[in-house]
Amino acid sequence: MYKIGVIALQGDVSEHVDAMRRALGDKGIVVEVRKAGEIPECDGLVIPGGESTTISTQLEKGGMVGELKDFVSRGKPILATCAGLVLVSSTIEGDSRVKPLGLMDTTVDRNAFGSQKASFEADLAVEGFETPYRAVFIRAPVISDLGRAVQVLARVEDKIVAARQGNVLCLAFHPELTEDRRFHQMFMSELEA
């Protein structure tokens, strides 16, 4: 039985909890992580979309940053979506309010597609998927630069919107808002590795 934690400081937490429960089925449980000491008890973690500045501040105040870094260094998988992608990066273009965790060798452009009014859906050709993935973008970031260890999984036009580095999978979009569980399955395959 796996224990998957969803960082529950702000953002679309309940949607991620529901989506992960459906994807896991009887293979494990999903818990909301709100304080230091809960991260090490998990086998995998989700960092959800939301307001990256708020989540960054709460992680710092709650003493959870070191636990997240240790979690990744121990080879445990993280799924980071939208604001989560911003947080796991090593550099954020033009924004000093968010302290990136440095879990991926990436530079991120926050809100690269514009405001919430500019939200959209797109069919993505994803590395390893046989058919397109319909992705939901809401005030989405993009990866504007990356290190050699980062594998690009999908783009919208020339913009990188899905990537992985080792045990960290990051998406600029919201897989929890669709019924397509292929990214959840990709994440769960790391649990079994």
Boundaries of every domain in the chain = 2-192
Task: Count other C-beta atoms under 10 Å from residue 156's C-beta.
Answer: 20
- Position 2: which residue type? Y
The topology under which CATH files domain 2-192 is Rossmann fold (3.40.50)
Amino acid 11: pLDDT: 87
Assigned token pair, 13: 């937490």
User: Which residues are known catalytic residues?
Assistant: 82, 174, 176
Q: How far apart are CA 131 and CA 180, in angstroms?
A: 11
- Position 79: which residue type? L
> Which residue ranges of the chain lie beneath pLDDT 50?
none
Assigned token pair, 52: 């990256």
The percent of the chain in helix, strand and coil, each rounded to the nearest 5, is 30, 30, 40
Amino acid 102: pLDDT: 96
Phi and psi based region of residue 80 (left: phi greater than 0; alpha: psi -120 to 50; beta: remaining): beta
* Phi, psi values for residue 90, rounded to 5°: -100, -25
